[in-house]
Amino acid sequence: MNARQLGREAQRLDGELASFLDDSARQHLWEISHQTLLDVEALPKDQPRTGLVLGYVQSGKTTAMTALMAAAVDSGYQIVIALLGTTNILLSQNAGRITKYLGIDTRSDYAWVGMSNPKGAAATKEITEWLTKKRSLFIPALKHKGRIADLAATLRQVTPLSDVKVLVVDDEADQSSLNTEVRKGTESRVYAAIDDLRDALPQHAFIQFTATPYAPLLLQPDDPLFPRSVQFLQPGKGYTGGREFFVDHQASVVRYIPAGDEQAATRLPIELPTSLRAAVWSFIIGSAAMLESISDSAPISMLIHSSHRNDVQERYHFLLGREIRALQLMVSNAESFERLPPAAHQEHERLLRLGVPPIDCARLLDRIRYVLSEIKLWLLNSVTAIKKVDWNVSPIHMLVGGNKLDRGFTVEGLTVTYMNRPASDQLDTVEQRARAFGYRSEFLPFCQFFGSARTVKMLRELVFTEYDLRAQLQDYISEGRSVADWAEEIGLLIPGGAKPTRDAVVRELSRNQFGWHQLRRPTVTAEAIDRNWALCSDLGLLSAPVRDYGRLSFRTLQLSTQAALESLLLGWYLESYSPDWRREELQRAFERASQMQKEIDVVLMEQGAGTSTASPRLRKWTDQEGFINLFQGRDVSAKAGQPYYSGDRELAISAERMIIQVHRVVRRGHDDDSRLLTLALHLGDRQIVARSTT
C-alpha cells in the first residue's frame, strides 16, 4: 500500500512517521493496520470482534496503535477509545504521544477532538454534538473499573450510537483486562467493566496490543477477550531484542551472577554484591566509550532490579550512592588511566575485543571522570517517583527499581542491566521484566546483561517460545485455520519448569504432543548453499530413488539414525539462529529417539522430483521468522480413483516415527540460488502447553 492509497489521516500521519521510519517500516505499519480492520470486520456477526496485534518487547507498539487509529478513522470509525495503562502516569505518557502523532492539539482543520474521562449528562451532550459535526473523538481511558464504567454509562446515552463505528484499543492487553476470577466462575471488576463498555457499543472493533500474548491466546474460545484474528508486527531495522541479546550475541552480552549474589527475599543487603560492582564498572567504562564514539548516544542508562520489596530497593539505592561517591573520589585522584582498578581495565579490554574504536588513555580518563560526575541515581519504587524521572537533567542515569518498571515504562538508552532478583517461572512476567530490548544495534557492543543462570536460561528459552509461537501461528492462519484451532492443536512450546502466564486468568491447560521442527531461517549465503548441496549430494539424496506419496512423489533415502545425525544434522551449515531450530536440544532429542528407531527416511521435497525439470518450491519469507508455511498442505478434496496427497506433515506415517525432510525452496521476491536447501525434522511426540478442550 503506497502513500497515494492512504486516506487523509493515514497520509498525514505517514508524513510524521517519515522523520524516523523508513519506507518499508511505514509500509508494513499500514498493511498491518488495514488488515487488522479487515480481519475483525470479516468475523461472523455472532463472534466478538476481537483482534490481536502481536509485537516485540519495546518495538514501537504505540506507533502501531496510532497508525491503526488513523486507518480506522479513514475507514469510517468516528470514536477511538484507548485503554492505555493501569496508572495515570502511563495513561498520560501514552495518550500524550498519540495526541502528538495525530496532531489533535495542534491541527487547525477541526478533524479531531480529545476527551479525557467523559462522564455524565454534559459529556453525553458534548459527544453527541461532536459526532453530529463529524468530528473524530479520541478518548484515552485508564484500566480502572470506575473510569471504564463511567465511560460506558456516558456512551449509552449518546443518540444514535447504533450508526457510529467505534475502535477500542487495549494496550498491554494481557495485563489487567483479563478475568482474574475465571477459575472461580465469576468476573473480576476491570474485566466486567470492559465487557459492559463493549455492550454499550453496537458497532465496535476491539484490538489488543501486546508483546506477551500467552494469556489471551490460551483463553477459552467463548471469552470475549479471546482474539479471533492475529496480525504480526515486524520490528524496524536495527531493533535489538531477545534473539540478539540471549542467542546470537550471548557470549559477549550475558554475564552470569553467582548464586550467592542473588538477592534473598527476606534479607536486606549489607554491601553491594561483587558482581554488581563489576556491573557498575562495565557501565562506567561503556558510557565513557559511547560518549566518545557515538555522538548522539545520551542518555545512557543502567537498571538495577533486585527485588519487588521497597525496603530492599532503598538499601541498594543507598549502597550505590555510597559506591558512586567513593569512585568519584578515587578517579579524581588517579594520575592516569593505568592507576584505575583492574575491573576498569578488564571492561576496556572487553570493548576493544568487540571492535569499539580505541581511545587515548588520557582522554578516556577524562570521560570516566565526566560520567561519574554526571550520574543521576534514581529510586523508582512508586508511581510518584517514576513521574519525576527527567532524562534531560543528565546524560547518565542509574535506576534502582522493581515491579514499577516491568511494563510500559521505557528506560531510555539502557545498556547495562543487573538483575539479581530470583527468576519467575511465569513467562510473560520474565519477558516484561527484562527491559533490555529495543535499542539501536550500534549500542550492542556496550550492552551487558547481568543475571543468574536461571534468569538467563529463562530469557534464552523465551526467545524460542516467542519465535516458535509467531511462526507456528502464522502457518496455521495462512492455511486458513483459526486461532482457536492453533490454541488447542499446536499451543506454546515452553521451557521446562515454566508456565505461560498467571494461573488466575486461564483455566486448566493441557499437554499436547508436538513433533515437527523446521529450520525456517537457513543461511542463504553462497558458501552455505554450496556446502549443504554438496552434503546432500555426498549422501546420495540428490540421486535417491523416487518414492510415491500419493499424488506427489519425492526422492527418498533411507539411512541409519546414527548416520543421519552425524552426516546430515550435525554437518548442516547454519550461521545464525532460526525459530524452532535449537540445534543442541534437537541433537539430544534425536539421539534419545533413535534408541527406538534404527533407520530413518530422508526425503527431498521439491517440485517435479525425479524429472529433468525438477525445481524448488516458492515460499513467503520474513527476516525475523524466515520461511512462512514451509510445508505444503493436504489436497483440498479427494476424488475417487485419483491419487491423493495428505500433506508434507503426514509423510512421517505416524506420530511416533522420526523423519527428515530436506526442502528445496526459494524465497518469494528474492533472486535465490535454486539449490537453496533447508530442513524439517519430525522427532515424534513432544509436550507443549495448549488450551484444554474440557
Q: What are phi and psi of 434, to 5 degrees?
A: -85, 95
CA distances from 626 to 58, 220, 460, 519 (A): 21, 30, 19, 8
Amino acid found at 502: R
- Please state the φ and ψ torsions of residue 165, each to the nearest 5 degrees: -85, 130
Residue 568 vs residues 43, 591, 631, 659, 669: alpha-carbon distances, Å: 45, 13, 20, 12, 29
Q: Looking up cell 525452496, which residue turns up?
A: 665
Among the three residues 431, 451, 471, which one is the final residue of a domain in this structure? 451
132 and 49, same structural domain?
A: yes
CA atoms in the 13 A half-sphere facing the CB of 140: 23
Single-letter residue type at 519: L
Of the residues 451, 478, 496, which one is the last residue of a structural domain?
451
pLDDT at 342: 93
Domain coverage including residue 376: 242-451
pLDDT of 689: 76
Question: What cell numbers appear for 82 in the block?
Answer: 484507548
**Predicted pLDDT at 512:** 47
Which CATH number characterizes residue 203's domain? 3.40.50.300
Residue 174: CA atoms inside 13 Å, Cβ hemisphere, count?
Answer: 27
The values of phi and psi at residue 675, to 5°, are -95, 10
Q: How far apart are the C-alpha atoms of 669 and 475, rounded to whole Å?
A: 19
> Using one digit for the tens of pLDDT, what is the confidence trace for 55-97?
887 777 889 999 999 999 999 999 999 999 887 777 888 888 8
Cα-Cα-Cα-Cα torsion 381, 385, 391, 392, nearest 10 degrees, comes to -160
- Asked whether residue 8 falls in the same domain as residue 122, the answer is yes
Whether residue 319 contacts residue 269, with contact meaning beta carbons closer than 8 Å, is answered with yes
The pLDDT, as a whole number, for residue 392 is: 87
Judging by DSSP bridges, how do beta strands 448-451 and 254-256 pair with one another?
A: parallel
266 and 191 within one domain: no
Q: Which residues contact 152 (CB under 8 A, 6 or more apart)?
A: 193, 196, 197, 199, 200
Structural domains of the chain, count: 3
d(CA 664, CA 235) in angstroms, rounded, equals 28
**In this structure, are 267 and 316 located in the same domain?**
yes
Query: Within a domain: residue 183?
Result: yes
26 and 147 share a domain? Answer: yes
Q: Does residue 579 have a cis bond before it (omega within 30 degrees)?
A: no
Cell readout for 670 is 528474492
How far apart are alpha carbons 5 and 607 in whole angstroms? 37
> Do residue 116 and residue 246 come from a single domain?
no
621: part of which helix (H) or strand (E)? strand 617-622
Q: What is the pLDDT of residue 277?
A: 95
| 75 and 115 share one domain | yes
Q: How far apart are CA 270 and CA 281, in angstroms?
A: 20
Residues 169 and 289 in one domain: no
Q: Do residues 317 and 377 make contact, with C-beta atoms less than 8 angstroms apart?
A: yes
3-class DSSP state of 413: coil
Rounded to an integer, what distance in angstroms lies between the CA atom of residue 365 and that of residue 288? 9
> Does residue 484 belong to any structural domain of this protein?
no
pLDDT of residue 513: 45
Distances (CA, A) of 350 to 72, 249, 514: 50, 14, 41
Q: Are residues 259 and 198 in the same domain?
A: no
* Contact yes or no for 658/561 (Cβ under 8 A): yes
Cell of 521: 531461517
Q: In degrees to the nearest 10, what's the CA dihedral of 656, 658, 661, 662?
A: 160
Please report the DSSP string for 634-659 in residue order.
--S---TTS-----GGGGGSSTT--E
Backbone angles phi, psi at 17, to 5 degrees: -70, -25
Residues 211 and 71 in one domain: yes
Q: How far apart are CA 372 and CA 395, in angstroms?
A: 11
Q: Give the C-alpha distances (Å, rounded to integers) separating 272 from 26, 263, 280, 282.
A: 46, 10, 10, 15
Q: Nearest CA to 476 among 687, 652, 631?
A: 631
Residue 480 lies in a domain: no
Residue 437 has what pLDDT? 67
| Pair 98, 202 in one domain | yes
Q: Three-state SS for 360?
A: coil
For residue 689, give the nearest of 507, 517, 488 by alpha carbon: 488
Q: Starting from the edge strand earliest in sequence, which strands make up the sheet with 414-419, in order?
A: 254-256, 448-451, 414-419, 300-305, 396-401, 375-380
- Angle between helix axes 61-74 and 23-41 (nearest 10 degrees) is 60
pLDDT of residue 65: 94
The number of C-alpha atoms within 13 Å of 227 and in the hemisphere containing its C-beta is 29
Low-confidence ranges of the chain (pLDDT < 50): 512-513
Is residue 444 domain-resident?
Answer: yes
Strand partners, 419: 305, 451
Residue 366 domain-assigned (yes or no): yes
**Which among 232, 262, 287 is the end of a domain?**
232
Q: Please, how many CA atoms are within 13 Å of residue 686, restricted to the half-sphere of its CB? A: 25
Asked if residue 587 is part of any domain, the answer here is yes
Same domain for 164 and 309, yes or no, is no
* 364 contacts 289 by C-beta, under 8 angstroms: yes
Inside any domain, residue 466? no
pTM score over 0.85? no
Between CA 40 and CA 47 the distance in angstroms is 10
Q: Is 20 inside a domain boundary? A: yes
pLDDT digits (tens, 9 = 90+) for 152-193: 999 999 988 888 999 999 998 988 899 999 989 899 999 999
Instruction: Quickly list DSSP for 324-384.
Output: HHHHHHHHHH-SSGGGS-HHHHHHHHHHHHTTPPP--HHHHHHHHHHHHHHEEEEEE-SHH
